[in-house]
């Protein structure tokens, strides 16, 4: 499959990812679909195959850093070079008043899945990215500055704060990644696809639907494959429009603190594995 264009998309068995995966296939990519459910994964693969596209499913629990490491290794071994990585998977604020949750590794669950997972997966796959490859990180326009004195929200927890801080962390990491990749011919951008789409995340929040899942998936495809976005990097797009994110995302000191904290978390987790 060395001449085949490969797109890896997380959270592709439900919601917006479920819509975006066939769009990537129609754009000519073999789509590696990540999810937790083998049954739902097989359904997406079958739909793409029946439409004349190409896809495969690989299960991974993004709440487990060790499982992300396994997944990255298997993706690399199976497909060699990658052309597109879409870090789409995420969890929302949860129902109002829901208690704080932790990941398999003991980290605040939204921080772990919405931020640590795409951070680690992107870094693990860097040496697999073909020149011209694109990384697309799905963030949100729900953004709160990070409180570095309470990174895991152990005080005064709220699902909204956890979600909005995790998305700011993801935007910061995307900007850092774009800077690190300068000269490598690989781009990294982040985006808000739309608000309160008809997804499991929004249904759990019990919020009325506002934006279209199909439109959101289209914005993913635009950043992942549009010729007009070639070479564009280190940007935050809101519904396809190049926009300024939360001001903390542009603070070099805040980004340094986040990166150092993240690397310490990952090193500590590995040391105790």
Question: Please, are residues 139 and 192 in contact by the beta-carbon 8 Å criterion?
Answer: yes
Of 214, 271, 272, 269, nearest to 65 (Cα)?
A: 269
User: Is 163 labeled as catalytic in the residue annotation?
Assistant: yes
CA distance 237 to 54: 28
| Cβ atoms 91, 201 nearer than 8 A | yes
C-alpha dist (Å) from residue 219 to 134, 138, 191, 215, 255: 14, 10, 8, 6, 26
Question: How far apart (Å, rounded) are the C-alpha atoms in residues 145 and 126?
Answer: 28
Cα atoms in the 13 Å half-sphere on the side-chain side of 6? 21
Query: Is-contact 5 26, C-beta < 8 A?
Result: no
Helical ranges in 1-116 per DSSP H:
15-26, 38-50, 65-79, 109-111
Torsion angle (degrees, nearest 10) of CA 75, 55, 135, 202: -110
β-pairing verdict for 129-138 and 82-87 = parallel
- In degrees and rounded to multiples of 5, residue 58 shows phi and psi of -135, 120
192, two tokens: 């808000």
Which residue is catalytic, options 29, 115, 163, 236?
163
Active-site positions read 163
């Amino acid at each position: 499959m060395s001449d085949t264009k490969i797109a890896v998309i997380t959270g592709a068995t439900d919601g917006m990812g479920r819509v975006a995966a066939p769009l990537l296939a129609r754009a000519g990519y073999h789509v590696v679909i990540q999810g937790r459910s083998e049954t739902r994964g097989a359904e997406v693969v079958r739909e793409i195959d029946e439409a004349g596209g190409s896809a495969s499913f690989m299960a991974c629990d993004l709440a487990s850093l060790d499982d992300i490491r396994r997944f990255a290794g298997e993706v690399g071994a199976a497909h060699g070079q990658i052309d597109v990585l879409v870090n789409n998977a995420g969890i929302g604020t949860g129902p109002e008043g829901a208690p704080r949750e932790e990941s398999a590794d003991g980290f605040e669950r939204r921080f772990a899945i919405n931020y640590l997972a795409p951070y680690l997966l992107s870094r693990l796959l860097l040496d697999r990215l073909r020149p011209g490859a694109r990384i697309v990180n799905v963030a949100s326009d729900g953004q709160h500055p990070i409180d570095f004195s309470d990174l895991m929200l152990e005080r005064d927890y709220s699902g909204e704060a956890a979600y909005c801080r995790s998305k700011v962390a993801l935007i910061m990491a995307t900007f850092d990644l774009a800077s690190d990749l300068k000269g490598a011919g690989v781009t990294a951008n982040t985006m808000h696809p739309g608000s309160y789409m008809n997804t499991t995340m929004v249904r759990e929040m019990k919020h009325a639907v506002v934006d279209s899942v199909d439109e959101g998936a289209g914005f993913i495809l635009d950043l992942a494959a549009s010729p007009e976005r070639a070479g564009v990097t280190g940007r935050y797009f809101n519904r396809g429009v190049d926009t300024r994110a939360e001001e903390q995302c542009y603070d070099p000191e805040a980004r340094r603190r986040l990166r150092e904290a993240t690397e310490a978390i990952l090193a500590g987790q590995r040391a105790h594995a």
